[in-house]
Amino acid sequence: MTTPTVDVHCHLDLYPDPRGQVAKLARQKSYVLSVTTTPRAWRGTSALAVGCPRIKTALGLHPQLAKERKSELSLFDKLLPEARYIGEVGLDGGPDCRSFWEDQIEVFDHILASCANVGGRILSLHSRAAATDVLDALERHPGYGVAILHWFSGTQRELSRAVEMGCWFSVGSAMLRSQKGRTLTARMPRHRVLTETDGPFGMVSGKALQPGECVEAIGVLAHLWQLDETSTKNSVVASLRELASL
Ligand code: MN
């Protein structure tokens, strides 16, 4: 029996043929967290996964869309009772997103406060060039739930703080192709590391990763953890079960 793959950050709704992708994932028995970028996308994206219990759909509002979509926060709150998973949310400190930083803070603080209000959620977080700000925001909202830092690219110091705060991590082949990404991953607590593609944005050699295409990431983790690939996959599936039970 082959071990199914785990992809906890994938934009299923942004592939050309989402229904075909879902059918393929169902055949592969992959576990997928299908993240969305706007509250308005959540219903339609959830509908794609009806009948596929291994595909969970996360309610999101991407930081890069914070300015143009903050009007959807009321819809976010309305949908929140039905959504167990949240993402993609977070902050982006890149030069292209700095001009609407205040909007980003407003949106992210609102989302974390709402999650705390409903007893906590599991969140897939974007933290590009903003790891410290994301961790500061989490600290402002105790009770937000459980954080998975997706494609973490902060410093060693920021990583240590995130680990101390109990954060989880999801890593993909694009991140693991860089020495920095591998060094950070080696220092993450193994039982809080999951795999992701970030497809179709996550690319390797100019090609978008397919949903659930985590074989290369598993290979790198196997090497870092000194395990064989089957044990590495089993370990990631066990961690996912642990996360889902939190
Ligand atoms: Mn993403």
- Ligand 1 centroid from CA 245, angstroms: 24
Strand partners, 123: 86, 147
Q: 3-state DSSP call for residue 141?
A: coil
d(CA 8, CA 91): 19
Report the candidate in 150, 138, 151, 149 with the shortest Cα–Cα distance to residue 111: 138
- Ligand 1 centroid from CA 88, angstroms: 6
- Ligand 1 centroid from CA 1, angstroms: 31
> What is the value of pTM for the model shown?
0.97
Hey, where are the domains in the chain?
6-245
User: What amino acid occupies position 206?
Assistant: G
Q: 77: phi > 0 → left, psi -120 to 50 → alpha, else beta; which?
A: alpha
The class (CATH top level) of 6-245 is alpha beta
One pLDDT digit (tens) per residue for the chain, 246 residues = 577 899 999 999 999 999 999 999 999 999 999 999 999 999 999 999 999 999 999 999 999 999 999 999 999 999 999 999 999 999 999 999 999 999 999 999 999 999 999 999 999 999 999 999 999 999 999 999 999 999 999 999 999 999 999 999 999 999 999 999 999 999 999 999 999 999 999 998 899 999 999 999 999 999 999 999 999 999 999 999 999 998
- Ligand 1 centroid from CA 35, angstroms: 7
User: CB under 8 Å to 82, separation ≥6 — which residues?
Assistant: none
- Ligand 1 centroid from CA 210, angstroms: 13
